[in-house]
């Protein structure tokens, strides 16, 4: 009976580890930041910065390989780098995100919300980048954006709870 319990414990640990890997590893890799690929600058980029105070700046005919590069070419940018080296913009031209005003810098490319760091979003010729200083993650239609990881997190937690309850039920029957 004890050997059977140990086997079940090992299975539970394996399942929990697998769920962790499925949920968290894809968000930590996959942007190709260290693959030594040469990225050419995109041309004819338009950049719009909406400062959230009825002030907007539009610059056209920019060139650069990624969103961060073109933004830094025309504006003073404050950054936060996470542990994987992804850059997140916390301020543009002296207007900064903070917990007091609950406003954040977010960007869209060609009208689509960009959910990756600005230094890894590779631009194509003719792209339109729009930075907006907003109070929450909203798209152009006003809908609140849900990150894809939220769905997988809910599924993972549900599976963990189900497995845990199954183990408890099985142990009680023994």
pLDDT at 28: 42
Q: Given the DSSP bridges, would you call strands 42-50 and 128-134 parallel, antiparallel or unpaired?
A: parallel
Whether 60 and 92 map to the same domain: the answer is yes
Angle value at C-alpha 148, between 108 and 39, nearest 5 degrees:
50
Whether 55 and 14 map to the same domain: the answer is no
Residue 66 has pLDDT above 80, yes or no: yes
CATH number of the domain bearing residue 51: 2.170.130.30
Whether 59 and 130 map to the same domain: the answer is yes
Whether 64 and 109 map to the same domain: the answer is yes
Residue 155 placed within a domain: yes
pLDDT at 37: 62
Where are the alpha helices (H) located in 50-95, listed in sequence order? 67-74
Where are the alpha helices (H) located in the chain, listed in sequence order? 2-28, 67-74, 148-173
Whether 13 and 70 map to the same domain: the answer is no
Whether 76 and 114 map to the same domain: the answer is yes
Whether 157 and 134 map to the same domain: the answer is no
pLDDT at 30: 42
Helix or strand (DSSP H, E) at 45: strand 42-50
Q: pLDDT category, 161, cuts 50, 70, 90?
A: confident
User: Which residue would you say has higher pLDDT here, 138 or 172?
Assistant: 172
- Tally the domains of the chain: 2
Share above pLDDT 70 across residues of the chain, in percent, rounded to a whole number: 65
Residue 142 neighbours by CB distance under 10 Å: 6
Share above pLDDT 90 across residues of the chain, in percent, rounded to a whole number: 37
Whether 134 and 168 map to the same domain: the answer is no
Q: Dihedral sign for Cα 63, 64, 69, 71, please.
A: positive
Whether 114 and 154 map to the same domain: the answer is no
CA 160 to chain centre: 24
Residue 104 placed within a domain: yes
Residue 110 falls in which region: left (phi positive, over 0), alpha (psi -120 to 50) or beta: left
Residue 88 placed within a domain: yes
- What is the extent of the structural domain holding 13? 6-22+149-173
Q: What is the pTM of this model?
A: 0.60
Residue 53 placed within a domain: yes
pLDDT tens for each residue of 81-119: 988 889 989 999 999 887 676 788 999 999 998 888 999
Residue 93 placed within a domain: yes
Whether 110 and 59 map to the same domain: the answer is yes
- Of 4-18, 20-34, 116-130, 159-173, the poorest mean pLDDT is in 20-34
pLDDT at 76: 96
């Amino acid at each position: 009976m004890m050997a059977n319990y140990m086997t079940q414990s090992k299975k539970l640990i394996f399942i929990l580890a697998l769920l962790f890997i499925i949920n968290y590893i894809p968000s930590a890799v996959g942007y190709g930041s260290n693959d030594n690929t040469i990225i050419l600058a995109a041309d004819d980029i338009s950049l719009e910065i909406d400062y959230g105070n009825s002030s907007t700046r539009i610059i056209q005919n920019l060139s650069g390989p990624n969103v961060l590069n073109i933004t830094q070419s025309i504006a003073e940018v404050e950054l936060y780098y996470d542990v994987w080296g992804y850059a997140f913009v916390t301020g543009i031209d002296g207007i900064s995100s903070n917990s007091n005003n609950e406003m954040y810098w977010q960007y869209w490319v060609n009208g689509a919300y960009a959910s990756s760091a600005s230094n890894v979003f590779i631009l194509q010729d003719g792209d339109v980048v729009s930075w907006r200083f907003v109070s929450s993650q909203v798209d152009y239609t006003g809908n609140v954006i849900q990150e894809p990881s939220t769905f997988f997190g809910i599924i993972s937690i549900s599976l963990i709870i189900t497995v845990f309850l199954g183990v408890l039920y099985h142990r009680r029957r023994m």
